[in-house]
Every structure is written in structure tokens, then in C-alpha cells.
């Protein structure tokens, strides 16, 4: 094993992060090569910097006019230069400030400086690299985002253990979740879990009471001697439409709950800031059991994963995000867009309330995000998807044979009644034909 990896492993030894590392995670390190030497030269090479493979003229990166014309608000070093492996420092600091502002219960001492990654998907994959080895179990919701299977099971060889998140009543099935967590704790010394709120595909965010119960369960497992890794997939954070939704990330409580809990916040501007194509996200670590130097060691492990895959994230996206965060117009515009989505949500809720006893479709709980999902009974979700697509020209997403996801965020409000009527009619037609 490389001596730099050994040094990082020694730094993390005795902590929850060190114990949770996968074999690949233990091997990862950030090399003292081109990037590290280039960063050192950027600080100290006052005469000439002949390190990084970029072309300069009179101290500025070369840039084609066609690019400069399209991004006149960005300087060449903001538009075409490489970004540092962990991201532009000002962007990382600004995002940490935003996390603390949106999660007032979180202490600044209980989290690392965020690391920029090329999208939330990449961030989840890097966490799988660091903390999941062949055959390691990970708990996740049922239903869940379908890419989790590809990331955890196919790429890393982990074993997926699904938790039925929703029962017969509105809200989370806390009994099932508690039983799954406690059962996993009894079978080993480690529990790995990914929580996605607001949830995809259901569009549900926990209430404050549900979040408190979930946090208490995880803390109890840690108190009883089990190390717990909780990945908080916060892709849709902030898009809450009901007053009883928890307005903070679960990361806020988990990061300061117990030394045996390592919480990881995987978030970004993709959904909430309406920049889907930026392919930019952040990874932030939090644990009561880690000190600043150990956060730095864990970040260097992550930097090794980034350097060995994409090297760094998109530079112009980072600077555009920074300008968005600093622009005084952004707050009002985001509130306007939030209101737009909330109106669509309320329109969908009203239509569902008008069909409380449909024979084949039952909505899962939802109160946030971009989607809602039907549980199909007596008909197949994929058959319904095909029926809607071929006979009605409506695109939806099926999750196996049980769940049909409908993205109300992508429809204008006036489209919603007709689309949902077609969904109900198509389901009845299918059911009648069985």
C-alpha cells in the first residue's frame, strides 16, 4: 500500500471513518504529483509557473472567441482553466455557509469543508468507493431511485437490503424502518444506510416527529456499539410544500449525534437552483467523533477518488454557481419558482383527494420535490406506462411492476387535470381488460 494511504489510514485510525473504510477506501490517497506540486507552485512560483498543462498568454489562459462570446461574465481563468481537485475554495466556503444557514441546528465544528464533485451521482459513487466493499450490505428504501442498484450493487458488489418505507397509512412506516435498522445492527458491527429526502420516487419528506424518531433509532444503535454510516442524498433539499415537513437535512442531527455515526451530506444546486446540466454536487462529512485534521484526511481520501477518475469538476459551473449565490436576484427568483412548483403540487393533491378510492391506483405519501408516485394494485406499472405512452402520449416512469412515478414539476399547471384523468382512465381500462 502506498505510504500516503498508510499515513491517512493512521490519521483515521480509531475513528468511525477509519473503521468504515472499504478495502479500496483504505488504498486511496491524494498523490504528491502534478496537482499537488502545481498548487504549491501557484503559491510560491513568483517568476514563472511551468507546472500545469495549460496554455497561457500574458498571464491569462488562452480561450477561443466563440467561448468568450457565450460567457462574457466569466474571465478566462473562470471559463476554461482547471479547477482544484476538491473544488474552488471560494465555492466550497460559500456552500458550507449555505449549509449552515439552511440547517440552523448544525454546529460549524461538526462538518468538513464541502468537496466539489461532478454531480450528485458521482458523489454517491465516490462514497460507495470509500465505504462499500464486495458483499457489504447497505440499507435503502423501497421503492428507491433505480440508479442506487447500479452504483452500489453492480459497481461495488454490495448487497442491497430494502426497507419498506411506506405502509398503509400516510407517512413513513417507522415500525418497518426501525425493525430493519435494529435487525441490521444485530447481524454485524457496522450498519450502512442511504436516506434520500425529499424522497425519489415518492416525493416525501419526513415530518419533524418522524425525523426525531429516525434519529433516535440510529443514535441508539450507535450507543449500543455499532458503527453507522448514513449517506444523506439531499438532491431535492429545500423543495418542501407542507408546513409539517422537516426543513433541515437529517444530516444536521446525525453529524452531531454520536462518535460512532459518520454522516455524509450529498447535495448540490442541481434541483433547488434549477441547474440540472451543471453536473455539480458537494460532499460534506460530519461526525461527533472527528477532528479537523481527520476531516482533512477523509477529504484527501475523497480527493484521491476524484483525481483517479475525472481529476476535477467543471470550472465554469462552479464560478456560475458562486455568482448565483452572490446575486441579489436569486433569492426572489427561487421563491417564485418554489411557489410555481407548490401550486402544481396542490393541484395534484386536490385531484387525488377527488379520487380517494380508485380500484387500481393508490398514491404514496408525498409533500415535496418534483414527483409523486402511484402504487399499482391489480395492474402492472410497466403495462400502465406503456398504455399511457402509446395511447395517450403521456410519459411516466415505472419502477418494476408496482410503482408509477409522475413528475408534476415538468408539467404546466393547466396540463395536470387532463394528464391525471388520462392516468385514471388508462388504469381502469387496463384493469377491465384483465
Distance CA 264, CA 340 (A): 31
DSSP-assigned beta bridge partners for residue 61: 56
User: Where do runs of H (alpha helix) occur along 132-239?
Assistant: 147-148, 174-186, 208-223
> CA distances (Å), 47 to each of 42, 44, 90, in order?
11, 9, 25
Sheet architecture: strand order including 397-399: 361-363, 371-376, 403-407, 397-399
**Phi, psi angle pair for 186, to nearest 5°:** -75, -20
State phi, psi for 159 to the nearest 5 degrees. Answer: -105, 120
Indicate the SS3 state at residue 208.
Answer: helix
Provide the CATH number for the domain formed by 331-433 in this structure: 3.90.1150.10
Predicted confidence (pLDDT) at residue 434 exceeds the cutoff of 70: no
Is the Cβ–Cβ distance between 418 and 412 less than 8 Å?
no
Domain ranges in the chain are 3-30+85-326, 331-433
pLDDT in tens, 322-365: 999 999 999 999 999 999 999 999 999 999 998 888 999 999 99
* CA angle centred on 256, ends 250 and 260, rounded to 5°: 100
Note the pLDDT of residue 432. Answer: 84
pTM for the predicted model, two decimal places = 0.95
Question: Which of 281, 292, 290 is CA-nearest to residue 257?
Answer: 290
Give me the pLDDT at residue 84, please.
94
Rounded average pLDDT over 399-425: 96
Q: In this model, does residue 36 exceed pLDDT 80?
A: no
The third-level CATH classification (topology) of the domain covering 3-30+85-326 is 3.40.640
Convert the pLDDT of each residue in 119-132 to its tens digit. Answer: 999 999 999 999 99
Full DSSP string of 181-195: HHHHHHTSSEEEEEE
Q: Which of 342, 350, 319 is nearest to 408 (CA)?
A: 342
pLDDT digits (tens, 9 = 90+) for 375-394: 999 999 999 999 999 999 99
Residue 162 binned pLDDT confidence (cut-offs 50, 70, 90): very high
Amino acid at each position: 500500500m502506498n505510504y500516503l494511504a498508510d499515513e491517512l489510514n493512521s490519521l483515521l485510525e480509531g475513528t468511525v471513518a477509519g473503521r468504515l473504510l472499504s478495502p479500496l477506501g483504505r488504498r486511496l490517497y491524494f498523490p504528491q504529483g502534478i496537482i499537488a506540486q502545481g498548487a504549491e507552485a501557484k503559491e510560491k512560483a513568483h517568476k514563472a509557473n511551468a507546472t500545469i498543462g495549460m496554455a497561457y498568454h500574458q498571464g491569462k489562459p488562452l480561450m477561443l472567441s466563440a467561448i468568450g462570446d457565450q460567457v462574457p461574465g466569466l474571465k478566462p481563468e473562470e471559463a476554461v482553466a482547471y479547477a482544484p481537485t476538491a473544488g474552488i475554495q471560494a465555492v466550497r466556503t460559500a456552500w458550507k455557509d449555505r449549509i449552515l444557514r439552511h440547517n440552523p441546528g448544525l454546529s460549524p465544528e461538526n462538518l468538513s469543508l464541502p468537496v466539489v464533485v461532478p454531480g450528485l451521482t458521482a458523489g454517491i459513487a465516490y462514497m460507495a468507493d470509500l465505504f462499500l466493499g464486495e458483499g457489504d450490505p447497505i440499507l435503502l428504501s423501497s421503492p428507491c431511485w433505480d440508479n442506487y442498484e447500479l452504483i452500489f450493487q453492480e459497481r461495488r458488489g454490495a448487497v442491497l437490503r430494502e426497507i419498506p418505507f411506506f405502509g398503509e397509512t400516510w407517512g413513513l412506516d417507522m415500525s418497518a424502518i426501525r425493525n430493519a435498522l435494529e435487525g441490521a445492527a444485530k447481524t454485524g458491527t457496522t450498519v450502512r444506510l442511504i436516506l434520500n429526502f425529499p424522497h425519489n420516487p415518492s416525493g416525501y419528506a419526513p415530518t419533524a416527529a418522524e425525523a426525531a424518531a429516525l434519529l433516535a433509532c440510529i443514535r441508539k444503535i450507535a450507543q449500543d456499539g455499532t458503527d453507522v454510516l448514513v449517506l444523506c442524498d439531499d438532491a431535492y433539499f429545500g423543495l418542501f410544500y407542507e408546513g409539517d415537513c422537516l426543513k433541515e437535512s437529517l444530516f444536521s442531527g446525525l453529524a452531531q449525534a454520536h462518535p460512532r455515526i459518520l454522516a455524509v451530506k450529498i447535495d448540490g444546486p442541481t434541483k433547488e437552483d434549477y441547474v440540472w446540466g451543471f453536473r455539480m454536487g458537494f460532499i460534506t462529512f460530519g461526525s461527533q467523533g472527528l477532528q479537523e485534521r481527520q476531516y482533512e484526511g477523509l477529504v484527501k481520501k475523497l480527493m484521491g477518488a476524484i483525481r483517479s477518475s475525472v481529476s476535477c469538476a467543471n470550472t465554469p459551473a462552479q464560478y456560475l454557481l458562486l455568482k448565483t449565490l452572490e446575486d441579489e436576484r436569486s433569492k426572489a427568483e427561487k421563491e417564485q419558482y418554489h411557489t410555481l412548483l407548490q401550486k402544481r403540487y396542490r393541484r395534484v393533491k386536490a385531484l387525488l383527494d377527488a379520487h380517494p378510492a380508485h380500484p387500481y391506483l393508490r398514491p404514496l405519501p408525498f409533500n415535496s420535490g418534483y414527483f409523486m408516485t402511484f402504487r399499482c394494485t391489480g395492474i402492472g406499472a410497466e403495462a400502465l406506462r406503456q398504455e399511457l405512452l402509446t395511447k395517450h402520449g403521456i410519459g411516466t416512469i415505472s419502477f418494476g411492476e408496482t410503482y408509477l412515478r409522475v413528475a408534476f414539476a415538468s408539467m404546466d399547471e393547466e396540463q395536470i387535470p387532463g394528464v391525471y384523468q388520462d392516468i385514471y382512465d388508462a388504469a381502469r381500462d387496463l384493469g377491465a381488460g384483465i
